[in-house]
Amino acid sequence: MSPTLHSGRPAVCAHDLAAGYGDRPVWSGATFDIERGSFVAVLGPNGSGKSTLLRQLLGLLTPLAGRLEVLGEPPRRGNPSIGYVPQARTLDPQIAFRGIDLVRLGLDGHRFGFRAPWQPRARQDQALRQAVEAVGAASYANRKLGAMSGGERQRLLLAQALVGEPELLLLDEPLASLDVANQAAMVELISTVAAERRLTVLLVAHDLNPLRTVIDLVCYVANGRIAFGPPDQVVTSAVLSDLYGAPVEVLVDSRGRRFVVGIEEETAHPHQPSPGTRP
Amino acid sequence: MTAAAGGATFSWNLWSDLSQMLSYQFMRNAFLSAAIVSVVAGVVGYNVVLRRTAFAAHALSHVGFAGAAGAVVLGINPVWGLLAFCLGGALVMGSLGQHLRDRDTVIGIVLAFMLGLGVLFISLYNGFSTEAYSILFGEILGISPSDLVVTAAVGAVAVVSMAAMYRPLLFASVDEEVAVARRVPARLLSIAFLLTLALAVAVAVQVVGVLLIFALLVTPAAVAERLTVRPGSAMAVAVGLALACSWLGLAIGYYFAYPVSFFITSLAFLAYALARLATGQGIGGRRRRLTVES
């Protein structure tokens, strides 16, 4: 996972970047580089603008100010080098649709027309099989999404993001609504897949601790600003107090877990609904 | 509404029964238009069920009712009124936006207004009861050769447009956020789909009428969704089922003096009930859709 293994331009370059809806900034003044192959946890309270960062990288939202480069070019919608897994709640869990067909959409769902039965399918089938096997979903990929557990669905969504062989993986709260055991398994899986495929990963999460053994960097979004760096340098009392502009204490336990105390989430950061996301 | 071939009796000699049935021009037209409508309804209906836009389909048929009744007042073929109003209604619904919270309310309000408008048009026209009856409940035995040409042309446009947007529409229906990130024009597709749905409704109204449209547009697709989860097979099953219900309904209606629409809707209902029993969910009601915590 060492960032220096990978040559070329950084996966993400942000310079004095500001994001927001209309002319109201959600956060601003963000400057950071993410080297290729890094595993980044995007942390911060609800509504602080974590998903907003992903939406900018996906080219769905134009920066309010500053410069942003993704894989050496300006962000553009539909960039095939980016794999994206949105928050799981946007998928109707009762839908009568197979897991494998969901993964297939990641391969050719954006193309118009339909795949005729006489078109060659060997290459497509191989890509599908590889993606499904990479996430360990081979045994249930043919079942209906509605008949799967939350963890199984999450794995298939990951397979869908991987099937197009992206270089950058954006995961929006993949650990939400998973139990502790499943969270650990999911983190392990993402980290293994990322290492094998030399992916750069940005993973939005609420809690640093399930991720602390696998991540290289933390992107902490709070109070309209972003702090960026290695976890033991960002998730500290000094940096977070400065970020929040209020006294925040970070406690480190004997196993290296970090706990942020002293912040009343909702009062400090009233939730800002973003257009285009479902309530 | 009932087969006018008075005195037709079923002989158990299926071949001679069939050739007798098909010796009538109106029966040939009926079978042909039922076939076209079944193909359109099956293909479009699968997406109606997947996108959960059954209410939009319902509303469009009522908008079509006003259009058809208006056309009758003006003395033109009702199918043109149907098409114009359904397409207009689809554009309005599409412009409301997919996730607008009160979209169903707006659709319901417009639906009620359109029904009222239809009633006015019907009363303006003297021979109102038969016309109203055939628009509301279908008049498959009254399909003229020129109706058939219109149905075939409209049906072809609907099927070609469904084929053209097949994959991105599926993507946007199942997984809209990723689809949008992958540059799928979800908003445009939603409008394009509603327009195609409008075409399907316009042709299906001729067969089963405004009030019974679900029998062809929703029921076969809902059965198919229970029997198979592959999108392609589900569409094929929906088409086959719609075809079986409408042709069988027609054939039964040829021998009994009851409305063909009744037989078609009953067969569709029977198929749905059997599919429910066969997939082990009984009549008690499917579990409510899970609301995942936010």
pLDDT digits (tens, 9 = 90+) for A19-29: 998 888 999 99
Pick from B225, B230, B294: CB nearest A98: B230
pLDDT, tens digit (0-9, with 9 covering 90-100), for B147-206: 899 999 999 999 999 999 999 999 999 989 999 999 999 999 999 999 999 999 999 988
Asked if the C-beta of B45 comes within 8 angstroms of chain A's C-beta atoms, the answer is: no
Structure confidence at residue A90 (pLDDT): 67
CB B200 within 8 A of CB B44: yes
The pLDDT-based confidence of A270 (bands split at 50, 70, 90) is very low
Q: Is residue B145 part of a domain?
A: yes
Q: Are A156 and A188 contained in the same domain? A: no
Boundary of a domain, candidates A165, A194, A221: A165
Q: Are A161 and A172 contained in the same domain? A: no
Structure confidence at residue A89 (pLDDT): 67
The number of domains in chain A is 2
Structure confidence at residue A265 (pLDDT): 53
Q: Is residue B250 part of a domain?
A: no
Q: Are A241 and A203 contained in the same domain? A: yes
Q: Rounded to an integer, what distance in angstroms lies between the CA atom of residue A4 and that of residue A17?
A: 24
- The 10 Å Cβ neighbour count of residue B151 is 25
Q: Which helix (H) or strand (E) holds B34?
A: helix B25-51
Q: Are A188 and A269 contained in the same domain? A: yes
Mean pLDDT of A112-121: 84
Note whether A109 contacts B293, CB cutoff 8 Å: no
Structure confidence at residue A7 (pLDDT): 52
Average pLDDT of the residues of chain B: 87
Q: Are A209 and A242 contained in the same domain? A: yes
Residues on chain A touching B225 (C-beta within 8 angstroms):
96
Structure confidence at residue A165 (pLDDT): 94
Residues on chain B touching A106 (C-beta within 8 angstroms):
178, 182
For the cut 80, the answer to whether the pLDDT of residue B101 exceeds it is: no
Mean pLDDT of B217-239: 94
Residues 240 to 279 of B: which have CB under 8 A from any A CB?
none
pLDDT, tens digit (0-9, with 9 covering 90-100), for B44-64: 999 999 998 889 899 999 999
For the cut 70, the answer to whether the pLDDT of residue B213 exceeds it is: yes
Boundary of a domain, candidates A106, A138, A165: A165
- Please report, for residues A162, A201, A257, B204, the alpha-carbon distance to residue A83 in angstroms, rounded to integers and kept in the order given: 6, 9, 29, 41
Mean pLDDT of B69-84: 91
CA dihedral B62, B68, B69, B70 (to 10 degrees): 110
Q: Rounded to an integer, what distance in angstroms lies between the CA atom of residue B68 and that of residue B79?
A: 6
Q: Are A16 and A68 contained in the same domain? A: yes
Segments forming the whole domain that contains residue B172:
19-213
**Minimal CA–CA distance to A158: which of A123, A182, A180, A179?**
A182
For the cut 50, the answer to whether the pLDDT of residue A17 exceeds it is: yes
Q: Is residue B257 part of a domain?
A: no
Q: Are A159 and A228 contained in the same domain? A: no
CATH of the domain at B49: 1.10.3470.10
Q: Is residue B173 part of a domain?
A: yes
Sign of the CA dihedral A99, A100, A101, A105? positive
Q: Report residue A95: phi and psi, to 5°.
A: -65, 140
Q: Tokens 């600003």 identify what position?
A: A225
Mean pLDDT of B221-240: 94
Note whether A113 contacts B290, CB cutoff 8 Å: no
Note whether B178 contacts A86, CB cutoff 8 Å: yes
Pick from A77, A161, A177: CB nearest B292: A177
Residues on chain A touching B178 (C-beta within 8 angstroms):
84-86, 105-106, 160-161
Q: Is residue A87 part of a domain?
A: no
Residues on chain A touching B168 (C-beta within 8 angstroms):
109-112
Structure confidence at residue B286 (pLDDT): 45
Q: Is residue A86 part of a domain?
A: no
pLDDT, tens digit (0-9, with 9 covering 90-100), for B106-147: 888 888 999 999 988 888 877 657 777 888 888 888 888 998
Q: Is residue A268 part of a domain?
A: yes
Asked if the C-beta of A78 comes within 8 angstroms of chain B's C-beta atoms, the answer is: yes
Collapsed DSSP state (helix, strand, coil) of residue A24: strand
Residues on chain A touching B171 (C-beta within 8 angstroms):
105, 109-110
Segments forming the whole domain that contains residue A25:
1-81+167-279
For the cut 60, the answer to whether the pLDDT of residue A268 exceeds it is: no
CB A196 within 8 A of CB A213: no
Boundary of a domain, candidates A141, A165, A189: A165
Structure confidence at residue A50 (pLDDT): 95
Please name the residue of chain A whose CA is at the shortest distance from the CA of residue B101. Answer: A279
Asked if the C-beta of B294 comes within 8 angstroms of chain A's C-beta atoms, the answer is: yes
DSSP state of A209: G
Structure confidence at residue A59 (pLDDT): 96
Q: What pTM, to 2 d.p., does this model score? A: 0.88
Q: Is residue A180 part of a domain?
A: yes
CB pairs under 8 A between A and B: 101
For the cut 70, the answer to whether the pLDDT of residue A275 exceeds it is: no
Structure confidence at residue B285 (pLDDT): 45
The number of domains in chain B is 1
* Out of A192-196, B10-14, B34-38, B193-197, least confident range: B10-14
Pick from B165, B175, B234: CB nearest A112: B165
Q: Is residue B261 part of a domain?
A: no
Q: Is residue A64 part of a domain?
A: yes
CATH of the domain at A5: 3.40.50.300
Mean pLDDT of B245-274: 93
Structure confidence at residue B180 (pLDDT): 94
Q: Is residue B276 part of a domain?
A: no
Asked if the C-beta of A114 comes within 8 angstroms of chain B's C-beta atoms, the answer is: yes
pLDDT, tens digit (0-9, with 9 covering 90-100), for A134-193: 999 999 999 988 888 889 999 999 999 999 999 999 999 999 888 999 999 999 999 999
Asked if the C-beta of A94 comes within 8 angstroms of chain B's C-beta atoms, the answer is: yes
Structure confidence at residue B290 (pLDDT): 40
Q: Are A149 and A247 contained in the same domain? A: no
Q: Is residue A12 part of a domain?
A: yes
Cα of A152 vs its chain's centroid, Å: 18
Mean pLDDT of A240-264: 87
Q: Are A172 and A266 contained in the same domain? A: yes
Q: Are A107 and A179 contained in the same domain? A: no
Asked if the C-beta of A91 comes within 8 angstroms of chain B's C-beta atoms, the answer is: yes
Pick from B163, B184, B292: CB nearest A110: B184
Q: Are A138 and A102 contained in the same domain? A: yes
Q: Is residue B242 part of a domain?
A: no
Q: Is residue B115 part of a domain?
A: yes
ipTM: 0.87
